[in-house]
């Protein structure tokens, strides 16, 4: 075992990053009955700089999965899904997602964050999409 500091505390050679990066999560977009992918459409509508930051956050989600935490991801209180958090300048974007079987992350809904808490309508829409997705599986 290697030692990590002057106090000689041992740590494992295999770190959490090595474990999670070996098996990436699969990122999927919720698709409605018409075949549209609202989260993808929202992301594609963003300007180049913000699109790039959202893409980076999605790659982190793909690598870290359900261990990704603040400041990039946070659970939505009262729901069984999380929000991917992206900020650039004064623009705040949130993407709601949840973990599904087979190491898959399902991106449900994206919106511009303008208030301290996620608006109830945005949370309800994501919850409805999650329920529809699960009902079809």
- Kindly report, residue by residue over 78-129, the tens digit of the pLDDT: 888 999 999 888 889 999 999 998 899 999 999 999 888 888 999 999 999 9
Is 70 exceeded by the pLDDT of residue 14?
Answer: no
- According to CATH, the topology of domain 16-136 is YaeB-like fold (3.30.2310)
Joined together, the tokens standing for residue 116 give 């301290």
> How confident is the model at residue 45, as a pLDDT?
94
Q: Which of 105, 96, 103 is nearest to 74 (CA)?
A: 96
Q: Residue 105: exposed, middle, or buried by beta-carbon count in 10 A (0-12, 13-18, 19+)?
A: buried
Q: Which of 73, 98, 76 is nearest to 87 (CA)?
A: 73
Q: How far apart are CA 79 and CA 76, in angstroms?
A: 6
Is 60 exceeded by the pLDDT of residue 137?
Answer: yes
Please state, as a whole number, how many other Cβ atoms lie within 10 Å of the Cβ of residue 42: 17
The domain spans of the chain are 16-136
Q: How far apart are CA 42 and CA 77, in angstroms?
A: 23
Tens of pLDDT, residue by residue over 34-48, are 999 999 999 999 999
More confident site: 9 or 64? 64
């Amino acid at each position: 075992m290697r030692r990590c500091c002057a106090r000689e505390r041992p740590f494992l050679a295999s770190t959490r990053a090595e474990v999670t990066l070996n098996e990436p999560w699969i990122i999927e977009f919720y698709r409605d009955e018409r075949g549209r992918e609202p989260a993808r459409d929202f992301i594609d509508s963003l300007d180049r700089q913000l699109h790039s930051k959202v893409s980076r956050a999605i790659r982190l989600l793909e690598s870290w999965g359900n261990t990704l935490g603040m400041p990039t991801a946070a659970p939505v209180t009262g729901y069984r899904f999380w929000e991917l958090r992206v900020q650039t300048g004064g623009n705040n974007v949130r993407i709601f997602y949840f973990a599904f079987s087979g190491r898959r992350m399902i991106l449900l809904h994206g919106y511009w964050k303008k208030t301290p808490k996620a608006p109830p309508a945005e949370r309800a829409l994501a919850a409805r999409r999650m329920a529809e997705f699960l009902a079809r599986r």
